[in-house]
Structure 1
């Protein structure tokens, strides 16, 4: 009860909201070449230290409590206390999705907010490694992470990028272990399926689809992206068409491998039947296109399909990937390179690929799962059933503040 009583007193007797406002001003003050602005920042810094000193003097562990009050709201601090009471561990690594998690097209203009970047930088300076885990290409994610966090942090040896949902891992500063091309470890049979689909996906596509989407520049996965604003009606329409077309190509590729087990004329129907049965979202898209008739799927084909992932993101992407290369495999590789043998991670994400990570850390008692309020239904269900770590769209910083308080509380030991 001691920590509870101390937190209760902290937020009851001291103006924590004002203290946090001063801390935010000092941390997020924009770089401007103005004497008046710099004087304003200096006054805020001095007032911040004065208010922290009052807490230092009022608590035996005043330094810890002052930092908690300066960065976490009352609710975030007590959530952190609940987490510490349950797990008795500090978070020692972040595993973070990007799109619709760290940033949001709807709420942050598709930029990672300065507040989030500032907190991640602070965690980095405290020695907490960061694993960025995304479906995007390496060059894309590397570029905006350097822009947001700076080249020095990205190349510090304490940041890893799991890209294309686990097909590769990039950890600058680790010599021969800097880049792992996990797709090179797949067997020839699976590689040939991807070669078949990739070589035909745009070249043989119907004209409307070919003009309405493009192939993301992946190293391995085959991802169709719309040539329209993500989420718009036209984007939804073209990605739905792309999903059906990719399934047909996938069926043809597998039929070629298993020879006589599948008639090439119905190969697409076989693929559609398998994935419609596996994923309700895919089932609904195929039903809308009247392409979901029941078909017998031979066991030899099932064996291959069970190794291949087809992912559908409404109005955003239709993707063929390998189930042997997923975010879990990528993160395990990243943690190994970073030298984290006993992780207790905060996993933040919004999609089914992120849910696999959350399941993984939960099954191994290796961390927490958190998600934005607009995450997929399965992700939200999991998060609410575990620790209820749901945050508002575009407000990943709120979750980082909770973890900041958790780590400060753990350090009181």
Structure 2
């Protein structure tokens, strides 16, 4: 309890709120050529150092660490970091991060990753912690905003890996022949031909509203229907819902065309199969489509192929066909292999069921902790709250990153004192 008592004393005795304000100013002030602005920055840096020194004097054995904790973490974050240190006894050695609605939130951050979050990611990079960006987006999209936010030097350092299209490929610059792994090349012809068939029909055979209201995202492998209307708008919600109903049907028809057995009403069978997801069931029901076809009576070959793929639904954002053999967890495993992280203890941050698979993989292997925004899917929130309750408000991913930074400081302190 000594550590908890000292931490309590720290946040009672020091003006940590002002200290954090100085730290934030020093860390986040943009580069300026103005002499006046530079003088102001230097004055703030001197005041920050003086306040840290004062804390160090109050805690002779732990002062420098406590000063850093107080300068970066709120009281709640610091005690959460200490709880994590007591429970796990080790620091996070790799970050696994979803982007959309995780690091950035369209409703709270103007769809940009906040500057503090980007700064913290840079700090972790400088401390030698690899970063795995894990997203459903295309590689080119991810490379663009990663370079813009973190800088080309960080992205191209060899310590950053991009798992794109929810695990279809892994891009890790400066790793020679391992720089790009195309994981979808592992799939057999049966699945590849299904994706080719669905991709070929995705728009050409679509209902008029879907054909004119959606476009195919430029994926290497997944088949993703995106709305032409603004993501999240009422129009986008309606057209994505219709696209989902259509996509489920053509997946069934395409599977039936590829198996050597007659299949009655394959579209209805596929809708019943994918309706195991409650969100998809709700959309299909609202469209008046049945989800109670006799799936058990369908040929084994038909059901076997359906069991190898999934349809993802993201309200007002996308309807997507993916392979269950190529999910984010498989991509993360490949990224860790390329990065040389042999004993991972990861921070996994995400909001959707594709991120949940990574969180479950980490939990199964006792290989890290999970965090999620408070608007994440119910299953994700249940998992995160059951583990360590690292739930944060939309747009506040920096709070969890600060906590994990504090965990690293406390682990280092414990190792020095042991």
Q: Aligned partners of 2:139 and 2:397: how far apart in 1?
A: 22
- 1:380 is the counterpart of 2:381: yes
State the match for 1:74 in structure 2: 75
State the match for 1:281 in structure 2: 279
Q: Aligned partners of 1:304 and 1:57: how far apart in 2?
A: 66
- 1:301 is the counterpart of 2:302: yes
Q: Verify the 8 A CA contact 2:281 2:291 in the aligned structure 1.
A: no
Number of equivalences: 410
State the match for 1:33 in structure 2: 33
Q: Verify the 8 A CA contact 1:107 1:393 in the aligned structure 2.
A: yes
Unpaired segments ≥5 residues, structure 2: none
State the match for 1:311 in structure 2: 312
State the match for 2:271 in structure 1: 272
Unpaired segments ≥5 residues, structure 1: none
Q: Aligned partners of 2:262 and 2:209: how far apart in 1?
A: 32
* 1:2-21 deviation line (CA, Å, top 9, x unaligned): 22122112111111111111
Q: Aligned partners of 1:6 and 1:168: how far apart in 2?
A: 47
Q: Aligned partners of 2:234 and 2:306: how far apart in 1?
A: 30
Q: Aligned partners of 2:152 and 2:221: how far apart in 1?
A: 26
For 1:170-181, list aligned pairs within 5 A: 170-181=171-182
Question: Which SS does the other structure have where 2:261 is aligned?
Answer: helix
Shift of 1:61: 2.4
Q: Choose 325-334 or 378-387, whichever is displaced more.
A: 378-387
Q: Aligned partners of 2:303 and 2:249: how far apart in 1?
A: 15
Question: Which SS does the other structure have where 2:372 is aligned?
Answer: strand
Question: Which SS does the other structure have where 2:225 is aligned?
Answer: strand
State the match for 2:395 in structure 1: 394
- 4+ aligned runs moved over 6 Å, structure 1: none
Q: Aligned partners of 1:139 and 1:258: how far apart in 2?
A: 35
Question: Which SS does the other structure have where 1:260 is aligned?
Answer: coil
Q: Aligned partners of 2:291 and 2:120: how far apart in 1?
A: 51
Q: Choose 285-294 or 336-345, whichever is displaced more.
A: 285-294
Shift of 1:82: 0.7
Shift of 1:364: 0.8
Q: Verify the 8 A CA contact 1:93 1:343 in the aligned structure 2.
A: yes
Question: Which SS does the other structure have where 1:347 is aligned?
Answer: strand
For 1:10-49, list aligned pairs within 5 A: 10-49=10-49
Q: Aligned partners of 1:102 and 1:181: how far apart in 2?
A: 25
* 1:239-262 deviation line (CA, Å, top 9, x unaligned): 011111111111111101113231
Q: Aligned partners of 1:184 and 1:370: how far apart in 2?
A: 31
Question: Which SS does the other structure have where 2:376 is aligned?
Answer: coil
Q: TM-score, normalised by structure 2?
A: 0.97
Q: Verify the 8 A CA contact 1:261 1:300 in the aligned structure 2.
A: no
Q: TM-score, normalised by structure 1?
A: 0.98
Q: Verify the 8 A CA contact 1:283 1:292 in the aligned structure 2.
A: no
Q: Aligned partners of 1:124 and 1:40: how far apart in 2?
A: 28
Shift of 1:303: 1.0
Q: Aligned partners of 1:272 and 1:26: how far apart in 2?
A: 55
Q: CA RMSD in A?
A: 0.9
Question: Which SS does the other structure have where 2:226 is aligned?
Answer: strand
Q: Aligned partners of 1:260 and 1:221: how far apart in 2?
A: 26
State the match for 1:321 in structure 2: 322
